[in-house]
Amino acid sequence: MRIAVLTSSSGSILDAIVSSGINVDLVVVDRDCPACNIAKKHSIKLVEHLRSFGPSFDRESYSKTLAELLKSHSIELVVMAGFGTVLSKEFFEDFPNRVLNTHPSLLPAFKGWHAVRDALLYGVKVTGTTVHIATDQVDQGPILAQEPVRILEGDDEQSLHERIKQIERWLYPKTIKEYINKLEKES
């Protein structure tokens, strides 16, 4: 199965996916980010499909050219790993049930880019991580796996996020592998 990882981030989740033995064919970034170095470290083809920020950003057009790019590489499964661009409905229609995401909260609580900060601000005692099938509704879609993470006295956003990511680094690869097996059995 040909797999692409989309990321905007530091790349530790990408690194964990590749190190787990999952064969990643393509890494796409939407901005200059440290994940580029992780792709290079593993000699994975890297495409910088950069976006603009601000009112000039054309989400439909960006998503359409991204879908075309992935199709031109015969990508069959799209794995988002800290990808900061919301993609259009049409993108998900091009890859139905073929886009996965990991999110640093127990969805449906604390959707969005600041999930860890929001959980701390709310004062919950337990948060966690969720792997789900991504849809055009941000941080929604069928849940494939979840694990809780307890919030400790003195936690700040960074310390809590790091403990959540320690879970994501094994839970996401495991769940991706299970999902690939399921798709291969169905085909």
User: Under the rule (CB under 6 A), what is the footprint of ligand GRF?
Assistant: 9-14, 81-82, 102-104, 165, 168
Cβ burial of 92 (10 Å; 0-12, 13-18, 19+) is buried
The distance of closest approach from Cβ of residue 24 to ligand GRF in the complex, given in angstroms and rounded to an integer, is 13
Pick the closer one to ligand GRF by CB: 98 or 165. Answer: 165
| Cα–Cα distance, 138 to 112 (Å, whole number) | 7
Which of 42, 49, 103, 114 is catalytic? The answer is 103
User: 160 with 149: CB under 8 angstroms?
Assistant: yes
Q: Which is nearer to ligand GRF, 18 or 67 (CB)?
A: 18
Nearer to ligand GRF, 95 or 110 (CB): 110
Q: Which is nearer to ligand GRF, 13 or 27 (CB)?
A: 13
Whether 73 is a known active-site residue: answer no
Contact of 84 with 30, CB cutoff 8 Å: yes
- Quote the least distance from Cβ 72 to ligand GRF, whole Å: 25
Q: How far is the CB of 179 from ligand GRF (least distance, A)?
A: 16
Residue 114, Cβ neighbours under 10 Å: how many? Answer: 14
Sequence-separated (6 or more) residues with CB below 8 Å from residue 8: 29, 30, 31, 33, 35, 82, 83, 84, 85
At closest approach, how far in Å is the CB of 160 from ligand GRF?
A: 11
Residue that has been written with the tokens 């439909």 in this structure: 60
Q: Which residues are catalytic?
A: 103
